[in-house]
Structure 1
Amino acid sequence: MMTFADSDGPRDGAVPAPADQTATHWRPCARGWCSARQSASCVRILWRHSVMACSCFCWKRNFARLDRTPLKEYDENKQKVVAIEGHVSKLVRSLDQFQNSWVRIGELMVLFAKELQQTTVGEGNAERREQADRIASLAQTVSEEMRNHHLGEGEHGSTRLLQYVKEFQSRLRECRERSARLEKLAKDYDARRAVVSDKEQAKTEEKKLAPLRDLMYEAESRFREAEADVLQRQKFIITHAPLITNACLICFAAIESERVQFLAEKSTDFYRLRDDQLRPTLHSIETEVFPPLS
């Protein structure tokens, strides 16, 4: 590399070489030949300009290798995450409705039992009133325990599983909100980058360009930090989505099996009433109320 000492002569406005170049207090520098004190000042100037030149070079190099903002990986992951969120939301909605329907059935049992009690008031059949009272009491018990079982904070497998699925759904919602923020930061970053690029092409003075470049660097820092966070969240969701989808299926099966087991334990009176009186009641109605036409 050619040094200032090897060049053909000093730059315009440079200090001419002294007659005695062997003196130790004279040395070549960017301005020609300077004293030791002047040379130190030149070193500081050269250092400042070299740092700015390096930062400018790195900035252009980084931007040149970027296809667009945000990265292509973000867009690909975003499409997958949006599809996952749609599927999980529908599954959670169905599970909630399925679970709540059983609770609603318990409430309807209570309403029916109370109505049945009111219709037996004043009737002389003591056995029927006793059955109505027993059904009303059983319906109330079943309704309360169903609510505690399905909607409470119990340790039942289906309840815990559904809570985890809903937590995953909240992670999806957070990722969507962070993605919206990231895209706003990307627009701000692109806008500031475009301003700096236009100013550079217009040969704007470095003194005026430096503040704009600082703002661009701040926007880039905020954008890159948000981008890394969103990419990490997207990868988490894409990795664990198959397990969560399978958990929804298991949760549905668990709710159904727990419901069947629960009714088998709590509804023995219903079974007994059905087994003892279903056929006799059908026979009485078919012979007395709606006899066959002759």
Structure 2
Amino acid sequence: MNNFPLFFIHIPKTAGSSFRVAAEQYFGSEATYFDYGNGSKETHPDILKFEYESKDRYLAAKSIKKNAKFLSGHVIYPKYAPFFPAKSVVTFVRDPAQQVRSHYEHFSRLHGYNGSFEDFIKENRFANMQSKALNGIWTDAIGFIGITERYNESIALFNKYYGTDIKVLDINKNTAKASGTYTFTERETSLIKKMNAKDYALYDYALIRFELHKELLEKELPLVRFGQMNILPKDKGKQLNIWACCYEQEEALEADIIVDGQVVEHVKLSDYRALASERNIHREGYIGKSYKYPDTFREGQAVKVVEKQTQIVIFEDVVS
């Protein structure tokens, strides 16, 4: 599949400026579109014309898909979601406390914010900014999630996966800051964790995923994406409902269902999931599997689903 154009969700203060400038240098200004709002000089003329003047996002996206290889903006995923396959969606995430403090410093310097840091933390509009930006897409379906604290590694991984040669740049930093990281009082840390619980969950997940994707690419194994889908509370521990796919292959993934270490069934993840189709995940939505535990499964037994090619555990449960 063609990876381009890429849709870069530029979350504020996550090293996104360095990445987007490096991407523009690589792809060329003619093939790089920006959407930083109606009042921004950086926003592409076609986006200004169609998105902000004509109020016709479809035509804006049509121009992007025809002419661009890279779209970047302080926008949330749903804005352009219908026009991009999930593999083409990319972003960076950052330790939430560092992101919050950096955003506060930026807002104070450039946007006239007069409140205290504690005031800033308590404002809902500044809370969970990273997870808000990605709302609407299954986290593991996102094509690439870079880690700000591991920026050089992230660029190397990005280039390996997408076959690009984007350079490492280091721009738009707060030069008044003495060290590389901010420090916090216990009260500040507690408040940040309370107000940004979803961002902490996202960041922890992204770190685990980063290591997994790095390992798979180094071993030249398929980059498997997977996750759980909703089941009713009464069905938990009694059945599974999962999705999994690999963007680099058209065939459905296969997996073993293992109970207490013994393979009990082979399954193919090829059931239709409307949500996966709507969100352009892969295979037009045919990436799911539902499985009701048979009566032979006993309470307390451990259930695992292991993808065959990589031997990755893509689901774990306990029979209840």
Fold shared by both chains (TM-score > 0.5): no
Please, what TM-score do these two structures have when normalized by structure 1?
A: 0.18
| Structure with bigger gyration radius | 1
Which one has the bigger helix percentage? 1
Which one has the bigger strand percentage? 2
Please, what TM-score do these two structures have when normalized by structure 2?
A: 0.17
